[in-house]
Structure 1
């Protein structure tokens, strides 16, 4: 009984500030735990992707299923957070990156997507190198009002129909770079002729393009103000050199 009373008395003598500090420490620890869990989730996802990429043919079905999920257009999500943030989420979960208007650098980490009201951040540049984006995901371009540049390189699942959807950003798009895209054919490049505000087109190592001269002639006729360069000696992206 005396022990209980003594403990109670000791607790009564603890200054209120001490309790406050303990609460702050608990809150701080919770924040750290939240960040730790977020980092662990990212690490787990990266390891999962790595395991799938290096495993047998049976796991390709899992990989394809993940691609379908990651590239599925979510209309409800677009309404909730706006087209720019929704498009950012799509690109980053597929391994791409974006640069916002007035930002000096790209972001590629899902956890660094800025928060804020819809319309506060606008995508100005899209970069996808060795990313798992598919043509279905290009539906996320709809609603982007400030997009100027697109760089696609070694994205094996990007098909001709992707560029039909680029029509959604034809008013602002000024530059497009397409390198090592194995599915892109003459028909896919022909869609670029409808992007009347293009000022620069850079092409390289498009193995499925059969009549390069005819495609370039078409683009030059339809886009007289645009500089068109087809150079198979174009160096690979720095992201590929780092791997």
Structure 2
């Protein structure tokens, strides 16, 4: 390798690793990004709730339809495309969801409960995208998502209809007391649990 190529590679390394405290995104993250891509044509074809459910199920999450008590976990158990269902709850425990797929939530008008537990590909820039469901979301749990920082948590302040917010297991939070105070001021009607 010539000196110029080495210099460029070293500069790229510095740029990519500027934030060493958040874990590196490996090969499987980039593969997961492919499975999270939004297909606008699919959304137009089957509607936002069906397309969102397909995305969530494809990435290991589960959904609960409005007026149904059981969660749907198996992609192959989706009803026909002609059936009209609306997502009311999302459980993304141990799923591969990333911010790339969060635009799927746009147009889902009945989601009032979301749970993100042990989502290893969930980073700060996903959380502001929850504003797509800010008018209906009342319960949010984010636990053991190791890459979330104070910046991501602060973006939850725009979810004004939240009644319950549970946050735990995020080792990169620097000032939990200050975050709790800020969230309480922004969301006065919300019961906040921050561990």
What does residue 98 of structure 2 align with? Answer: 134
Could you report, residue by residue, the CA deviation over 1:80-134 in whole angstroms, capped at 9, with x for unpaired residues? 101101111111111100000001110110011122437x210000001111111
The one of 157, 165, 180 aligned to 1:193 = 157
1:147 is aligned to 2:115: no
Superposed displacement of residue 230, structure 1: 1.8
What does residue 33 of structure 1 align with? Answer: none
Higher relative contact order, chain-length normalized (CA < 8 Å, sep 6+): 2
What does residue 114 of structure 1 align with? Answer: 79
- Looking at structure 2, the residues matched to 80 and 96 of structure 1 have their Cα atoms a distance apart, in angstroms, of 22
What does residue 124 of structure 1 align with? Answer: 88
**What is the aligned-residue RMSD (CA, Å)?**
1.3
- Looking at structure 1, the residues matched to 114 and 108 of structure 2 have their Cα atoms a distance apart, in angstroms, of 12
1:228/1:64 CA distance change after superposition, 3 Å: closer
1:105 is aligned to 2:67: no
Q: TM-score, normalised by structure 2?
A: 0.84
What does residue 20 of structure 2 align with? Answer: none
Q: Name stretches of at least 5 consecutive residues in structure 1 with no aligned partner.
A: 1-59, 232-243
What does residue 21 of structure 2 align with? Answer: none
The one of 112, 121, 124 aligned to 1:160 = 124
- Looking at structure 1, the residues matched to 165 and 111 of structure 2 have their Cα atoms a distance apart, in angstroms, of 15
Structure ID, larger Rg: 1
- Looking at structure 2, the residues matched to 216 and 64 of structure 1 have their Cα atoms a distance apart, in angstroms, of 30
Could you report, residue by residue, the CA deviation over 1:13-35 in whole angstroms, capped at 9, with x for unpaired residues? xxxxxxxxxxxxxxxxxxxxxxx
- Looking at structure 2, the residues matched to 68 and 110 of structure 1 have their Cα atoms a distance apart, in angstroms, of 18
What does residue 86 of structure 1 align with? Answer: 51
Q: Name stretches of at least 5 consecutive residues in structure 2 with no aligned partner.
A: 1-25
The one of 203, 215, 218 aligned to 2:182 = 218
- Looking at structure 1, the residues matched to 163 and 82 of structure 2 have their Cα atoms a distance apart, in angstroms, of 32
- Looking at structure 1, the residues matched to 148 and 82 of structure 2 have their Cα atoms a distance apart, in angstroms, of 37
Superposed displacement of residue 201, structure 1: 0.2
Counting only pairs closer than 5 Å after superposition, residues 167-178 of structure 1 correspond to structure 2 as 167-178=131-142
* Structure with more helix by fraction: 1
Superposed displacement of residue 174, structure 1: 0.2
Could you report, residue by residue, the CA deviation over 1:37-91 in whole angstroms, capped at 9, with x for unpaired residues? xxxxxxxxxxxxxxxxxxxxxxx63x34531221011111101101101111111
